[in-house]
């Protein structure tokens, strides 16, 4: 009996394995497994334990809640984690010998993150607190129920996924005593503080904070080394750009962190930096790598990933992720400048944990035909042992399609990389429709990673083409920067060149049945494409941009993203309009389905409303579907039933027109 075809509802059958954390002695580990619960219409995650000698896996927490960020106590006897068991995320402690988890914090607005103190008797917390209040103060419920006006005096006043930002609430850092629950606030002032690292001797912490009063045009968060006793600060880095993920070396001499400057704004590659505390100098350890440090893969499966930005061994060696040519690989570095990969090609390491001696890694690995599991990898040999098999039964039941990697030359002699999937159940000699998928960002990348939506389209009988046009990460700095100021020109040429190449090399593609779809930047590009060519017989645009003029003022990032990417502001409305798909609405002949989340503040729904009304008034074939209670991340972390509905809308539209 053959395998069945993948279905929309298979989202409920998939498991996401993340957050591997090794015990201090390296003999055991914990991790988090997440799945979507169809009955409760929510995400359920729990902590699991693995004994690394026997490789036996045991579930440690239960219930239909969400847990994240498990961390071992320094003595290995307890694990702390975050859970929303009582609405807001709080810190819970569970014994490594088993038993019920004990709630440690009861902060009114919850806890954002935490780190163990090396003494094992205290936990450092990062959490929001209202000005003039303490973390444990409770706001009056009566006051919460009354609507109040919201006065806006700054440009950074809202954020996708968060809504209107509280103007009187600030992220502070503090310490919680395990024995008594007593809370002591460490930082002060009306600033947003970020806790990055605690030294192994407990005497220093790394804090990120920008104390400028007006943050509207601030795109930096300086990192400071802070003496716990005196609170004296030493600057690690205070430059334009984004830096974080700091970690102390085991001997506390060095601090490694990851970040990027503003040379190419948000198109700039990230690097690993190391600060020498004794000498007071900083070096860029990965400057010779023309690829970004970190994970830039876009997909729709993994939940709650929280991979270390960088990890030390006791030999003062470093490990980190690197996005390169569609892979996310584990890389090794020494302070002397040695750099080389520590994992193979054609896969996506989306989470990991390193042993202190550097001999062993726990790697959470996915590829195009495996949703991802946890493996134990011996660094010297590369040998791997499978630790989890949560998706094994699913893989035995369902037919998945292996994408074929392609490389081709576009305009400006630019080499472009991508993948082509044949339809599931492909038969030689038959003709099949083809759908082009376009990722968001644009500074992300498609990769060698499991993508339920791609596999679903293949299961529906479509070929699928997805490429990384100029602007995508995972390639050279010049490649990722090439899209800026050029939206709809070079990137459009890259996508269409890829289409021409695969049509020329694959006679199974029915050129009369071509579809195109994409979200965010991919939605912009879908809108642009249907206004510039009639080759596609159906299109679906998701969380898209149609008008850069209005986007400038309505998006939570509009006023600076437009300047960085389109390289124009409201003093150059002509250029913003020139790159706006709405300008070319009269040319659209492709039936276009518009899908958009009502709470999307990144690409606000007015972008879809403008496009829909304009096309409808012009007599074009279009429909508009609005998703309530959903933001920009609907396809990845949205309410489960809405994710299902979204995929069904896509399938139904292509079925109707292709």
Give pLDDT tens digits for 321-355: 999 999 999 999 999 999 999 999 999 999 999 99
Instruction: Write down the pLDDT at residue 97.
Output: 86
- For the sheet with 204-209, list strands across it: 193-198, 204-209, 223-227, 233-237
Q: How many other C-beta atoms are found inside a 10 Å radius of the C-beta of residue 130?
A: 15
Distances (CA, A) of 113 to 90, 126, 215, 248, 589: 9, 5, 23, 18, 50
d(CA 81, CA 247): 19
d(CA 164, CA 632): 15
The sign one gets for the Cα dihedral 32, 361, 370, 306 is positive
d(CA 14, CA 555): 33
Instruction: State the greatest distance between any 2 C-alpha atoms of the chain, in Å, as a whole number.
Output: 76
Closest CA to 530 of 438, 448, 465: 438
d(CA 623, CA 634): 19
d(CA 564, CA 267): 9
Assigned token pair, 387: 């630790």
Closest CA to 117 of 179, 59, 62: 179
Kind and range of the H or E element at 95? strand 88-95
Note the Cα 238 to chain centre separation in Å: 25
Instruction: Write down the pLDDT at residue 136.
Output: 81
Q: Is residue 358 one of the residues assigned to a domain?
A: no
Instruction: Write down the pLDDT at residue 471.
Output: 97
Number of domains in the chain: 1
Q: Is residue 388 one of the residues assigned to a domain?
A: no
What is the CATH classification number for the domain harbouring 520? 3.40.50.1820
Is 520 one of the catalytic residues? Answer: yes
Instruction: Write down the pLDDT at residue 396.
Output: 96
Burial label for 120, CB within 10 Å (0-12, 13-18, 19+), is middle
Kind and range of the H or E element at 332? strand 327-334
Q: Is residue 522 one of the residues assigned to a domain?
A: yes
CA angle in degrees (0–180, nearest 5) for 41-46-50: 145
Q: Around 87, how many Cα atoms within 13 Å sit in the side-chain half-sphere?
A: 5
CA angle in degrees (0–180, nearest 5) for 372-341-311: 75
Closest CA to 651 of 371, 398, 464: 464
Residues 6+ apart with CB under 8 A from 180: none
Instruction: Write down the pLDDT at residue 1.
Output: 67
Q: Do 657 and 628 meet the contact criterion of CB atoms below 8 Å apart?
A: no
Is 288 one of the catalytic residues? Answer: no
Instruction: Write down the pLDDT at residue 256.
Output: 98
Residue 648 main-chain phi, psi, to 5 deg:
-65, -35
Q: Is residue 106 one of the residues assigned to a domain?
A: no
Kind and range of the H or E element at 174? strand 169-177
d(CA 548, CA 577): 6
Q: Is residue 467 one of the residues assigned to a domain?
A: yes
Closest CA to 597 of 654, 538, 557, 637: 637
The one catalytic residue in 69, 199, 311, 520 is 520
Predicted TM-score (pTM) of the model is 0.96
Q: How many other C-beta atoms are found inside a 10 Å radius of the C-beta of residue 200?
A: 15
Q: Is residue 644 one of the residues assigned to a domain?
A: yes
Residue 128 main-chain phi, psi, to 5 deg:
-75, 140
Q: How far apart are the first and last CA of the chain?
A: 30
Residues 6+ apart with CB under 8 A from 314: 250, 356, 357, 358
Domain of residue 429, residue span? 401-657
Q: Is residue 567 one of the residues assigned to a domain?
A: yes
Supply the DSSP symbol for 220. Answer: B
d(CA 177, CA 101): 17
Q: Do 190 and 213 meet the contact criterion of CB atoms below 8 Å apart?
A: no
Q: Do 88 and 109 meet the contact criterion of CB atoms below 8 Å apart?
A: yes
Q: Is residue 8 one of the residues assigned to a domain?
A: no
Q: How many other C-beta atoms are found inside a 10 Å radius of the C-beta of residue 647?
A: 20
Stretches where the chain sits below pLDDT 50 are none
Spell 56-95 as b/e; 16+ CB within 10 A means b.
ebeebbeeeebbbbbbbbbebebbbbbbebeebbbbbebe
d(CA 466, CA 403): 10
d(CA 56, CA 60): 13
Closest CA to 415 of 498, 347, 340: 498
Supply the DSSP symbol for 196. Answer: E
Instruction: Write down the pLDDT at residue 2.
Output: 86
- For the sheet with 102-103, list strands across it: 67-72, 78-86, 88-95, 102-103
Q: Residue 78: helix, strand or coil by DSSP? A: strand
Instruction: Write down the pLDDT at residue 63.
Output: 82
Closest CA to 519 of 378, 633, 348: 633
The one catalytic residue in 45, 49, 632, 635 is 632
Condensed to tens digits (0 to 9), the pLDDT of residues 493-524 reads 999 999 999 999 999 999 999 999 999 999 99
Q: Around 383, how many Cα atoms within 13 Å sit in the side-chain half-sphere?
A: 5
Instruction: Write down the pLDDT at residue 431.
Output: 98
Residue 283 main-chain phi, psi, to 5 deg:
-130, 150
Alpha-carbon dihedral 377, 378, 382, 385, rounded to 10 degrees = -40
């Amino acid at each position: 009996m053959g395998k069945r075809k993948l279905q929309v509802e298979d989202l409920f059958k998939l498991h996401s394995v993340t957050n591997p954390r090794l015990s201090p002695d390296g003999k055991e580990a914990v991790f988090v497994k997440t799945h979507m619960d169809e009955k409760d219409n929510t995400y359920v995650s729990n902590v699991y334990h693995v004994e690394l000698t026997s490789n036996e896996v045991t579930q440690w927490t239960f219930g239909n809640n969400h847990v994240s960020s498990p961390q071992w106590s320094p003595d290995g006897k307890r694990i702390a984690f975050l859970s929303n068991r009582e609405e807001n995320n709080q810190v819970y402690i569970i014994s490594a010998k088993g038993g019920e988890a004990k709630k440690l914090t009861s902060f009114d607005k919850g806890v954002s993150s935490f780190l163990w103190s090396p003494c094992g008797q205290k936990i450092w917390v990062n959490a929001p607190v209202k000005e003039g209040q303490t973390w444990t103060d409770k706001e009056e419920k009566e006051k919460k129920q009354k609507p109040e006006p919201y006065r806006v005096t700054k440009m950074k006043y809202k954020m996708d996924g968060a809504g209107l930002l509280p103007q009187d609430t600030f992220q502070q850092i503090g310490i919680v005593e395990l024995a008594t629950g007593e809370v002591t606030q460490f930082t002060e002032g009306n600033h947003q503080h970020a806790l990055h690292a605690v030294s192994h001797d407990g005497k220093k912490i790394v804090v990120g904070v920008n104390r400028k009063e007006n943050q509207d045009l601030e795109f930096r968060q300086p990192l400071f080394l802070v003496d716990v006793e005196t609170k004296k600060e030493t600057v690690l880095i205070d430059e334009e750009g984004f830096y974080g993920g700091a970690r102390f070396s085991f001997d506390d001499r060095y601090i490694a962190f990851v970040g990027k400057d503003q040379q190419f704004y948000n198109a700039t590659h990230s690097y690993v930096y190391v600060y020498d505390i004794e000498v007071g100098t900083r070096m860029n350890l990965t400057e010779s790598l023309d690829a970004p440090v970190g994970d830039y893969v876009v997909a729709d499966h993994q939940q709650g990933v929280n991979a270390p930005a960088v990890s030390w061994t006791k030999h003062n060696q470093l490990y980190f992720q690197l996005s390169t040519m569609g892979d996310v690989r584990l890389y090794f570095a020494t302070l002397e400048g040695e750099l080389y990969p520590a994992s193979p090609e054609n896969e996506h390491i989306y989470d990991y944990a390193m042993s202190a001696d550097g001999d062993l890694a726990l790697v959470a690995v996915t590829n195009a035909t495996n949703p991802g599991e946890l493996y134990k990898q011996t660094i010297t040999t590369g040998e791997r042992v499978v630790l989890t098999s949560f998706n094994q039964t699913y893989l035995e039941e369902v037919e998945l399609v292996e994408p074929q990697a392609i490389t081709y030359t576009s305009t400006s002699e630019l080499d472009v990389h991508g993948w082509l999937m044949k339809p599931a159940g492909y038969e030689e000699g038959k003709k099949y429709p083809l759908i082009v998928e376009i990722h968001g960002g644009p500074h992300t990348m498609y990769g060698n990673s499991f993508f339920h939506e791609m596999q679903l389209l293949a299961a529906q009988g479509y070929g699928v083409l997805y490429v990384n046009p100029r602007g995508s990460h995972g390639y050279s700095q010049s490649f990722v920067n090439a899209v800026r100021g050029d939206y709809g020109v070079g990137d459009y040429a890259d996508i269409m060149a890829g289409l021409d190449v695969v049509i020329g090399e694959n006679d199974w593609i029915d050129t009369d049945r071509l579809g195109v779809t994409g979200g965010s930047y991919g939605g912009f590009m879908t809108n642009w494409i249907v206004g510039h060519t009639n080759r596609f017989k159906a299109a679906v645009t998701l969380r898209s941009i149609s008008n850069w003029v209005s986007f400038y003022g309505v998006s939570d990032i509009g006023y600076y993203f437009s300047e960085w990417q389109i390289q124009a502001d409201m003093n150059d409305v002509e250029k913003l309009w020139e790159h706006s798909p709405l300008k070319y609405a009269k040319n659209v002949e492709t039936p276009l389905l518009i899908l958009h989340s009502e709470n999307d503040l990144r690409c606000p729904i007015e972008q879809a409303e403008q496009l829909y009304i304009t096309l409808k008034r012009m007599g074009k074939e279009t429909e508009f579907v609005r998703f309530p209670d959903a933001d920009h991340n609907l396809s990845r972390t949205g309410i489960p039933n809405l994710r299902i509905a979204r995929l069904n809308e896509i399938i139904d539209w292509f079925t109707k027109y292709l």
